Chains A and B, each alone.
Chain A
Amino acid sequence: MRSRSETIRLVEEQAYRLRRRVLEMGLEAGPHGAHFGSAYSMAEAISAVFFGVLRSDPAHPDDPGRDRFILSKGHGSVAYYITLAEAGFLPEGLLHTFETKDSLLPGHPCMHRDMGLEYSTGSLGHGLSLGVGVALHAKRTGRDYQTYVLVGDGECNEGSVWEAAMAARQFGLDNLTVIVDRNRLQSDGLCRKVMDMDDMAAKWRAFGWEATDVDGHDAGALLDSLHERSRPAGKPRAVIAHTVKGKGVSFFENNNDWHHRSITPEQVAAAMAELEQAHGKEGA
């Protein structure tokens, strides 16, 4: 059992590795490019789930008692694939096939359960309903696994998200957690200008959920919010992870040009240098 501070350090280290590897994979993807901004905003959140809270074993990816993770914002696939590889679910070599012909790793995840790819996702607004189904199954069959769903804030424009939110409360799914990657940008620009979601936590609370605002780049805060077991019985939980799109590389940050694009070797070198410098400071 790791101590809290050890787990925080592990999550931070994984998020750092993830950001580096996104650059490498993005470069390798050539003109296909990758979703850089989104992968970076969710780096701590997905690392906190996989290296901090998720009870699962790559040797038994079909264990019915495993905790479930659903990447509803499937365009974050590059971060997901790398994390699954780091956690031992997905063969490392496969990462080199990202977005290539006949690849098992397309731009949006395709279900392949023996590699931990639990569902085919990326059509926005679906993942939470999958989570509600899976969590309801646990309730009805007396299983104690937890279900974590990572959604985007722009994704919450989709009406189906709120259909699922109502159902989760109705069925008393206190075994379900949604993490909202609140990076405040969507495809066409600022969420506030495209479709203002205003106070995200208030919206989830209005739907009967327990909701917490956290700094989505603070591993400790994320872990605390995900570990919190004191929520009232019967309430599903929303963790609003306030993030910066492209977090960690100055020219990615809050720049929607880096939502999805290809990257040059020079840009990778510049980004790596920034990541290393920041990591060195943290480590010191």
Chain B
Amino acid sequence: MMLVNTELIQKLSSLGPRGAFGYGLMEAARADDSLMVLTADLSSTSRVRQFEEAYPERFANVGISEQNMVTMAAGIALEGRTVFCTSFAAFISMRACEQVRTDVAYMKANVKLVGADAGVTIGTQGYTHYAIEDLAIMRAMPDMTVIAPADGLETAKAVQAAAQYKGPVYIRLTGKGGFPPVYKEDYDFTIGKGVLLRDGADAAILAAGAVVANALEAAELLRQEHGLQVAVADLHTVKPLDGALVRALASRVPLLVTAEEHNILGGLGAAVCEEAGAMDAGARVVRCGVPDVFSKVADYPDQLERFGLSARGLADAVLQGLGK
């Protein structure tokens, strides 16, 4: 059991999403002897080197072949094991898409797919390595659980929860080393259950991934500058979505703003619209994210700015949505 204290929270924050994943993986590996890790030539990059050194018999590097990796993982998992696969989010969700669907989801293989550098995290490296479609792709697969952790602690917790859960899971990692801790103390992470980080009656920001921190900052800006009380929810599990939380918020605030490092089509914003749209009456939904374009490249913070995902951008979306 991971002992959560300020020191660990700081450590996981400074390690960044990949490092926090690596940390959570070691915790999960100690709890589950069957746990195996496959990577596609990204042992260092995806921070599984420590696992490789500790458990060489439970590790395999398959080279640059994501399709083979995912199907191999399914084959191993169907022998009764827990198998983690790591690659960049773009390649695990798109290069190996049909393998994920047919060999992992369709056969309900106990495979955990971890996509590093999802969203626009990779900045000026360019769109070949962005993943702004992965939530939509993974969410469309029956029996697939989809998680987008907000910070280092949540990443480590999500990895352990995924390891304990029996069935296919996709974890997308966003953010950079030193990303701010959203969670300053221990909390209960449950797959499928969102966390209301802050309550408010004027509007709500529903976010997933590293932009949750920006959503919190936006709510604080709106309080300081406009006296608005804006709720913020961390919907770390994009599928199954915490429909109860979305409906509760939609019934008591007039505006929901969604925030995700993803195309506004098919991801968290779409999932929230689907939930809110099924209600008799409820809040309007404004989706912040990549507006269905391949934009020019930029450094990560600039790219977040461009897509209205910075704290200021999200605050502006709330103001605009409220007609202020």
With A133-B71, A167-B63, A167-B68 already in contact, the answer to whether A126 and B58 are too (CB < 8 A) is no
Number of interface residues of A (CB under 8 A): 24
List the one stretch of A51-59, A158-166, A255-263 in contact with chain B.
Answer: A158-166
Closest to B65 in A: A163
> Which residues of chain B in 25-84 are interfacial with respect to chain A, using CB atoms and an 8 Å cutoff?
36, 57-58, 60, 62-63, 65, 67-68, 70-76, 78-81
Residues of A within 8 A of B (CB): 64, 111, 119-120, 123, 125-126, 129-134, 136-137, 140, 159-160, 163-164, 166-167, 170-171
Bound state CA distance, A159 and B65, in angstroms?
Answer: 10
- Kindly name the residue among A137, A159, A170 whose own CB sees the greatest number of chain B CB atoms within 10 A: A137
Specify which chain A residues have a CB less than 8 angstroms from the CB of B263 in the assembled complex. none
Specify which chain B residues have a CB less than 8 angstroms from the CB of A120 in the assembled complex. 102-103, 106-107
Bound state CA distance, A130 and B81, in angstroms?
Answer: 14
Cβ of A213 to closest chain B Cβ, rounded Å: 26
Cβ of B37 to closest chain A Cβ, rounded Å: 12
Asked if B65 and A133 sit within 8 Å, CB to CB, the answer is: no
Instruction: Name the one of A123, A131, A166, A170 contacting B75, with C-beta atoms under 8 angstroms.
Output: A131
Instruction: Name the one of A123, A133, A163, A164 contacting B76, with C-beta atoms under 8 angstroms.
Output: A133
Asked if B67 and A129 sit within 8 Å, CB to CB, the answer is: yes
Specify which chain A residues have a CB less than 8 angstroms from the CB of B199 in the assembled complex. none
Specify which chain A residues have a CB less than 8 angstroms from the CB of B86 in the assembled complex. none
Chain B 74-101 interface 0/1 with A at a Cβ cutoff of 8 Å (1 = within)? 1110111100000000000000001100
> Which residues of chain B in 279-302 are interfacial with respect to chain A, using CB atoms and an 8 Å cutoff?
none
Bound state CA distance, A246 and B103, in angstroms?
Answer: 30
Asked if A164 and B68 sit within 8 Å, CB to CB, the answer is: yes
Bound state CA distance, A170 and B60, in angstroms?
Answer: 10
Asked if A133 and B57 sit within 8 Å, CB to CB, the answer is: no
With A140-B58, A171-B60 already in contact, the answer to whether A130 and B67 are too (CB < 8 A) is no
Asked if B107 and A133 sit within 8 Å, CB to CB, the answer is: no
| 3 smallest beta-carbon distances between A and B, as pairs | A133-B75, A129-B71, A133-B72
Asked if B102 and A126 sit within 8 Å, CB to CB, the answer is: yes
Bound state CA distance, A167 and B72, in angstroms?
Answer: 10
- Kindly name the residue among A126, A129, A134 whose own CB sees the greatest number of chain B CB atoms within 10 A: A129
Closest to A160 in B: B67
Instruction: Name the one of B57, B68, B74, B80 contacting A140, with C-beta atoms under 8 angstroms.
Output: B57
Asked if B68 and A137 sit within 8 Å, CB to CB, the answer is: no
Specify which chain A residues have a CB less than 8 angstroms from the CB of B57 in the assembled complex. 140
Asked if A119 and B60 sit within 8 Å, CB to CB, the answer is: no
Contacts between chains A and B (CB distance < 8 A), count: 79
Specify which chain A residues have a CB less than 8 angstroms from the CB of B107 in the assembled complex. 111, 119-120
With A123-B102, A126-B103, A167-B63 already in contact, the answer to whether A132 and B79 are too (CB < 8 A) is no
Cβ of A133 to closest chain B Cβ, rounded Å: 3
Bound state CA distance, A164 and B68, in angstroms?
Answer: 6
Closest to B78 in A: A119
Bound state CA distance, A136 and B67, in angstroms?
Answer: 16
Cβ of A207 to closest chain B Cβ, rounded Å: 13
Bound state CA distance, A163 and B99, in angstroms?
Answer: 13
Closest to B102 in A: A123
Closest to B34 in A: A141
Closest to B83 in A: A133
Asked if B98 and A123 sit within 8 Å, CB to CB, the answer is: yes
Asked if A134 and B68 sit within 8 Å, CB to CB, the answer is: no
Bound state CA distance, A130 and B103, in angstroms?
Answer: 8
Asked if A167 and B81 sit within 8 Å, CB to CB, the answer is: no
Cβ of B262 to closest chain A Cβ, rounded Å: 27
For the complex with contacts A123-B102, A137-B76, A160-B65, 7 further pairs of A-B residues with Cβ separation under 8 Å are A126-B71, A132-B68, A134-B76, A136-B76, A163-B67, A166-B68, A167-B65
Asked if A136 and B98 sit within 8 Å, CB to CB, the answer is: no
- Kindly name the residue among B70, B75, B98 whose own CB sees the greatest number of chain A CB atoms within 10 A: B75
Instruction: Name the one of A134, A159, A170 contacting B79, with C-beta atoms under 8 angstroms.
Output: A134
Bound state CA distance, A133 and B78, in angstroms?
Answer: 9
Specify which chain A residues have a CB less than 8 angstroms from the CB of B81 in the assembled complex. 137
Asked if A163 and B79 sit within 8 Å, CB to CB, the answer is: no
- What would 10 A/B residue contacts be, using CB atoms closer than 8 Å? A64-B80, A126-B103, A131-B75, A137-B79, A137-B81, A164-B72, A166-B68, A167-B62, A167-B65, A170-B63
Specify which chain A residues have a CB less than 8 angstroms from the CB of B102 in the assembled complex. 120, 123, 126
With A64-B79, A167-B63, A170-B63 already in contact, the answer to whether A136 and B72 are too (CB < 8 A) is yes
Asked if A129 and B63 sit within 8 Å, CB to CB, the answer is: no
Specify which chain A residues have a CB less than 8 angstroms from the CB of B63 in the assembled complex. 163, 166-167, 170
Asked if A134 and B98 sit within 8 Å, CB to CB, the answer is: no
> Which residues of chain B in 95-151 are interfacial with respect to chain A, using CB atoms and an 8 Å cutoff?
98-99, 102-103, 106-107
Bound state CA distance, A133 and B62, in angstroms?
Answer: 11
Asked if A137 and B75 sit within 8 Å, CB to CB, the answer is: yes
Asked if B74 and A130 sit within 8 Å, CB to CB, the answer is: yes
Bound state CA distance, A257 and B235, in angstroms?
Answer: 53
Specify which chain A residues have a CB less than 8 angstroms from the CB of B65 in the assembled complex. 160, 163, 166-167
Specify which chain A residues have a CB less than 8 angstroms from the CB of B80 in the assembled complex. 64
Specify which chain B residues have a CB less than 8 angstroms from the CB of A164 in the assembled complex. 68, 71-72
Closest to B56 in A: A140
Closest to A133 in B: B75
